[in-house]
Amino acid sequence: MKFCGRNSAGAIGMEVLNAVEMSHRFIEPLLAQATLLVDATAGNGNDTLFLARMASDNAKIWAFDVQSAAIEKTRALLVKHDVLSKVTLVAESHEMLAAHVLGGIDAVMFNLGYLPGASRNIITRPQSTTAALKFALKQLNPGGRITIVAYPGFLEGAQEETEITRFLATLDQLHFTVASWSMLNQRNQPPRLYVVEKRRSERRETTASRKN
């Protein structure tokens, strides 16, 4: 998994970005070639808008949210930016991915937790998140990526992160690269990004790599 930041001065180097910003950086390189993209948690629509603005006109984007208020916010944002035609909005759980999204997927974005400013009772749950993740992993094209932004700053969010981490750690390294990113010196448990990439080909274990 290659990532190289370019700062505003045009120099290549390390940029310190938060988890959501970093999720965009990991997905962005895929978007010119992508044909099937998923925002698994539309929320306020920012990730869906990011996908719709950056993807080619050939791309089909699916955005899911269980709250119709979130779907409507997302729709309004997409209309404002004149990109609604690229997106299919689904007011259902991302567990229903398999019923809607057919074919190889290039990228899936999860932004977990609750909708900022709305009820904290409607949150993503480990069981449904993991079910959606399992389907996404199966359908992901080689080289495709999944980003998951987790919020350990509240109890259920922390529990969900623990379960997701446990699940991600079981993925076979021959088939998937799994990494994480977070700020280490911020107060109140900042969000953490997980990135999964489906490997293009199985890495063969060579004598050299065994020695390392």
Chain residues in the site for ligand SAH (CB under 6 A)? 41, 43, 64-67, 70, 93-94, 111, 113-116, 122-124, 128, 151
Q: Cβ closer to ligand SAH: 39 or 106?
A: 39
Q: How far is the CB of 21 from ligand SAH (least distance, A)?
A: 12
β-pairing, 176-181 vs 192-198, is antiparallel
Residue 52 Cβ vs ligand SAH, minimum distance, rounded to whole Å: 17
Tell me how long the chain is: 212
Of 2 and 21, which CB lies nearer to ligand SAH in the complex structure? 21
C-beta of 14 vs 155, nearer to ligand SAH? 155
Q: How far is the CB of 36 from ligand SAH (least distance, A)?
A: 18
Which of 120, 100, 95 lies closest to 110, judged by CA?
95
CB of 73 to ligand SAH, least distance (A): 9
Q: How far apart are CA 150 and CA 111, in angstroms?
A: 7
Helices (H), the chain: 19-27, 46-54, 68-80, 97-100, 126-139, 155-168, 207-211
Q: How far is the CB of 41 from ligand SAH (least distance, A)?
A: 4
CA distance 111 to 64: 11
Q: Which of 17/199 has CB closer to ligand SAH? A: 17
Q: 3-state class of 79 per DSSP?
A: helix
Q: Which two tokens mark 199?
A: 């490997």
Name which of 43 and 144 has its Cβ closer to ligand SAH: 43
